[in-house]
Structure formats: structure tokens, C-alpha cells
Amino acid sequence: MTRFDAATADTRQELFVDAIRAHTERDSTFLTIETATVDADGTDDTSESDDATHEVGGTGEADATGDEADATDTDGPPWVQYADGTLNLDCTDDELDRLKSLLDEFPSFTIDDLATPDEADGTNVRVMARTDDKRVGEFVDRVFRQVYDRSDGYRAWVTAV
């Protein structure tokens, strides 16, 4: 894998597919994709540090198996993790509603687990993906655009493979 960010729908989806393949070839624990934060005017803020995470209640990122990974304690941009056919993401209540609506368009994706810690303001969601890497890449792009309300030109980074 030679590139780690992209800012158009086609290049983002290619990036996600390449990252999934690299993750599989390396037999890594999980891969993580992040976006920039969104400013009050609705534009992506690409000045955000790469180690910031979108957290629910400051619990830290959990890998796709449900184990908590190292993360900062500050809120940050949204992230999606992938491992062994499972997507892992944190959602507020509104984001969870949008995710459920999106799943109606992707029948090969189903919610496997919802976890809402007492101290959290949202939900950690694990989504099973029973499909090919290209469809997973398309779904992840739609998650960022529709669930996390990113613009069509948002920039995504693969921060861990």
C-alpha cells in the first residue's frame, strides 16, 4: 500500500479496498479509517491531528473484536475499523438512526452488536459485512457521508493497517 489518504468518492473507495487487502495480507488485528473534523460552517477541517478519534463518551476506540485499542481521551473525527468481515464504529443516537437507514440499502450488512456503556453518550456498533471488499469500501464511504454527515469531498485517511 503506497497511499494513505483520498478525497474523492472513487479514490476513497479504492483506498478502502486497498487497505482491506493490505490488512488481510498482513494479517493485522484491524485497520482504521478516519476523517477530518467538520467546522461550524460544514467544511472539513484537515488540520486535525491524525491520532484524534471520534469517541462515544470518551471510551476510546474499540477494535472490531470489541477490545479497546489505544486512543486519546478527546473527542475527534469519526473513525471506522474493519477486521474479519466486521466493521466497528461509534455513533450518537442520531448517527445510529442514519446508520440503520443506510443498512436498508445494503442487505449484506447487518448489525451484529450494539454496546452502550453507562458513561457513554452513544453506542458502539459492530456491523457484519457478508460481501466483497469493493462493496465494503462503498459502504464505508457512505457511512462517512450519510451517517457522519461528511461532504462529498471529505478527506479520509487510513491510519492503521
Beta strands in the chain (DSSP E): 5-6, 31-35, 37-38, 44-45, 79-83, 86-91, 109-115, 123-129, 156-160
Per-residue pLDDT of 113-159, as tens digits, reads: 999 988 888 999 999 999 999 999 999 999 999 999 999 999 999 99
pLDDT at 51 over 90: no
Per-residue pLDDT of 9-44, as tens digits, reads: 999 999 999 999 999 999 999 999 999 765 545 555
- Predicted confidence at residue 2, as pLDDT, reads 66
Confidence of residue 71 (pLDDT cuts 50, 70, 90): very low
Confidence of residue 46 (pLDDT cuts 50, 70, 90): very low
User: Which of the two residues, 50 and 20, has the higher pLDDT score?
Assistant: 20
User: Which of the two residues, 64 and 91, has the higher pLDDT score?
Assistant: 91
Span 66-78, average pLDDT: 52
- Predicted confidence at residue 83, as pLDDT, reads 96
- Is 118 exposed, middle or buried (CB count within 10 Å of its CB: 0-12, 13-18, 19+)? exposed
